[in-house]
Amino acid sequence: MSIADDVGEADKTVPTEAEAVETTAETTVYEERVELERTIGLTGALAIGIGTMIGAGIFVFPGLAAGRAGPAAAASFAIGAVVALAVALPTAELATAMPRSGGGYFFISRGLGSGFGTVVGTSLWLGLVFASAFYLVGFGSYAAAVLAEAGISLGGGLVTPLSLLFGVVLTGLSVTGTENAAKLQNAVVGLLLTILVTFLGYGSLSALGLIGSRAVPETFAPFGTAPILTTTALVFTSYLGFAQVATVAGEIKEPGRNLPLAMVGSVLVVGLLYVTTIFVSTSAFGSERLAGFGQTAVVEVARSFFGVAGAVAILFAGLLATFSSANASILSSSRAVYALSRDRLVPRWFGRLNLRYGTPHVALVAAGGPVLVLVAVGQVEVLAEVASFLHLVMYSLMCVALLVLRRSPPKWYDPSFRTPGYPVTPAVGALASFGLIFFMRPLSQIVGVLVMVASGGWYLYYARDVRLKGVF
């Protein structure tokens, strides 16, 4: 079966710029249909980026990362931030030239062709599915811990049911409107940052010996330098948020201004918070003891500073963080499916819009459904690394796409933001992203490769006759 069996020959190309009737800061109107409305401002775009990234790095990874690299886990997060920034800058340029839903898929398909685009698009969809499942498992762990603090303890039996319940809730919320999901994201991230700045401010003063008890003395890299890079590969999931901003670029107001500010700003803010969190946490307990606390290690750090009130505040913040990460990831995953459908690389019915809410409800189900399956499976670290694997491949290819487009720019390529340090910046971003893959565990590499092979098989089976033209 080829795509010709599903649509006529005339439908095998996407609309060109000439077919677009009107493109404004609010929406793009085609002769056939209306594109998703632009309802997300700069605050909302930053909230998507920060809200997605801020979850795992602070509320799930400190114990796991400290167990692998000791206090040098702070260096792992710093390296991850540098790699993310080297990719965020080229991505911002691509996004201002092509402010459409689909993010990395859209950029790569226009820069490198439909074959690469299909593999990356389906991998992005599934990568965000793995990431969403990872965040929801973290949410379930924090929700169970909150109930335990309230005296309701059912052991680990609550984690999966709570994760599944809120996966359904978030998918339903996104169906009722992007603006609703964005408003919730803004409120959640604002409250979350208030709690974290208070906690980390006090913790930093304590770690420096200015107040409270003295820091626990420890060698910076007790396990050597190699674990720093393997830990970077693990925690890089924490930096997926800036790419989520690009995935919903078709719904962001004033994309030429807001996209670069949101992508770069979210990486800088979150990178600083991550490094500070590891510094504060390992100073409070030492890496070995911190690792023993598992996924809720930062709760015990807060308890040591502020008692039960501190533990409850951080548990609440952890709920907010993992909730916002899962919310943004499910939303972004659905937009990847929507973009693939619009380009006829998956069946057209994936791109159907809900007439009442103006959201791609079928794509949202295609994103939320597999998330629930993976949540039931568990395996937190594998979920995180597979998500990182698939995103790192996409990041590398986005940087390559920028190099290709800059070398022979089509006439529609007119970005309002230009990558500083070109061509070094995208070259570093491509090499660093691809290089981190080799520091992952073999199981994660195997699953990631299988996903990409399956995506390539889908392209050969269904979508190889598609011809992509232009941006609009």
Report pLDDT digits (tens) over 146-205.
878 777 766 556 677 777 777 777 777 666 655 666 677 678 778 888 999 999 999 999
CA pair distance 381, 61, nearest whole angstrom: 9
As given in the structure block, the two tokens for residue 130 are 């793995």
Q: Which long-range contacts (CB under 8 A, 24 or more apart) does 305-311 make?
A: 305/199, 305/202, 305/203, 305/206, 305/212, 306/202, 308/149, 310/199, 311/149
pLDDT of residue 275 exceeding 60, the answer is yes
- Between 83-87, 354-358, 394-398, 410-414, the lowest mean confidence (pLDDT) is in 354-358
User: Quick check: helix, strand or coil at residue 252?
Assistant: strand
| Confidence bin at 35 (pLDDT 50/70/90) | low
CA pair distance 413, 162, nearest whole angstrom: 46
Q: Does a structural domain hold residue 30?
A: no
CA pair distance 369, 162, nearest whole angstrom: 16
For residue 391, the domain's CATH number is 1.20.1740.10
Per-residue model confidence (pLDDT) at position 470: 52
pLDDT of residue 127 exceeding 90, the answer is no
Q: Does a structural domain hold residue 19?
A: no
Q: What separation in angstroms does the CA of 107 have from each of 97, 348, 458?
A: 9, 20, 20
Q: What is the mean pLDDT of residues 351-365?
A: 68
pLDDT tens digits for range 132-161: 787 787 778 778 878 787 777 665 566 777
pLDDT tens digits for range 326-335: 777 777 777 7
Residue whose token pair is 């290709």: 404
- Domain limits for position 77: 43-411+422-463
Per-residue model confidence (pLDDT) at position 421: 93
CA pair distance 445, 451, nearest whole angstrom: 10
Q: Does a structural domain hold residue 76?
A: yes
Q: Which residues lie across from 34 on neighbouring strands?
A: 29
Specify the pTM: 0.76
Per-residue model confidence (pLDDT) at position 420: 93
Q: Does a structural domain hold residue 3?
A: no
- Between 17-21, 403-407, 420-424, the lowest mean confidence (pLDDT) is in 17-21
The DSSP letter of residue 14 is P
Amino acid at position 263, single letter: M
| Confidence bin at 2 (pLDDT 50/70/90) | very low
Query: How many domains does the chain contain in total?
Result: 1
Greater confidence (381 vs 156) lies with 381
**CA-wise closest residue to 88 among 247, 267, 219, 229:** 267
Percent of the chain with pLDDT over 70: 81
Per-residue model confidence (pLDDT) at position 317: 86
| Confidence bin at 223 (pLDDT 50/70/90) | confident
Greater confidence (156 vs 425) lies with 425
CA pair distance 313, 372, nearest whole angstrom: 28
Q: Return all residues near 193 (Cβ < 8 A) that are at least 6 apart.
A: 50, 54
pLDDT of residue 308 exceeding 80, the answer is yes
Q: What is the mean pLDDT of residues 395-400?
A: 93
Q: Return all residues near 467 (Cβ < 8 A) that are at least 6 apart.
A: 12, 13, 114
Per-residue model confidence (pLDDT) at position 210: 81
**CA-wise closest residue to 68 among 207, 240, 221:** 221
Question: Highest-confidence range of 308-322, 351-365, 384-398, 408-422, by mean pLDDT?
Answer: 408-422
- Between 2-6, 283-287, 301-305, the lowest mean confidence (pLDDT) is in 2-6
pLDDT of residue 306 exceeding 50, the answer is yes
pLDDT of residue 405 exceeding 90, the answer is yes
pLDDT of residue 49 exceeding 80, the answer is yes
Q: Does a structural domain hold residue 320?
A: yes
Greater confidence (145 vs 402) lies with 402
Q: Does a structural domain hold residue 7?
A: no
Q: Does a structural domain hold residue 429?
A: yes
As given in the structure block, the two tokens for residue 441 are 């565990």
Residue whose token pair is 């606390």: 293
pLDDT tens digits for range 233-262: 888 878 877 877 877 777 788 888 888 999
Q: Does a structural domain hold residue 167?
A: yes
Greater confidence (348 vs 416) lies with 416
pLDDT of residue 30 exceeding 60, the answer is no
Q: What is the mean pLDDT of residues 85-99?
A: 90
| Confidence bin at 7 (pLDDT 50/70/90) | very low
Greater confidence (268 vs 214) lies with 268
pLDDT tens digits for range 428-471: 999 999 988 888 888 889 988 998 999 889 888 887 876 665 55
User: Could you check whether the bond before residue 423 is cis, i.e. omega within 30 degrees of 0?
Assistant: yes
**b/e for 351-390, b at 16 or more Cβ within 10 A?**
bebeeeebbbbbbbebbbebbbebbeeebbbbbbbbbbbb
Q: What separation in angstroms does the CA of 436 have from each of 84, 126, 127, 234, 439?
A: 12, 19, 16, 9, 5
State how far Cα 438 lies from the chain centre. 20
